[in-house]
Amino acid sequence: MSNAPAPSKPSAPAYSPAPELVAAAERALATANPAHLDTAERMYLSYGAVTDGRSAVTGAVLPPFRECSVLVRAGWLAAARVFPSTAAAYES
């Protein structure tokens, strides 16, 4: 058995979202229902609990929700809006 380190994963290619995507995400967050934002944050935290606080794609440490990019927060907001009753069913 070799003690050589495992090869590292190649880094993800740089991504520059289209300005219209960023603008739409900013609008979604600015007009969001606070309850949906709270659910989005709790969903994000639940994801982090499963991945030990790291990105399952890159392995990078996940930042606090409020420090995530506008697209990441808007993505979790979209998930919270699509499944509000499901998310509410699991709230304690």
- Domain extents in the chain: 35-89
Kindly report the average pLDDT of the chain as a whole number. 87
| pLDDT category of residue 69 using cuts at 50, 70 and 90 | very high
- Report the predicted TM-score, pTM, of the whole model to 2 decimal places: 0.76
What 3 state SS string does 27-83 have?
Answer: HHHHCCCHHHHHHHHHHHHHHHHHCCCECCCCCCECCCHHHCCHHHHHHHHHHHHHC
With a cut of 80, say whether residue 31 has pLDDT above it.
yes
| Mean pLDDT score, 81-91 | 66
| Mean pLDDT score, 72-80 | 97
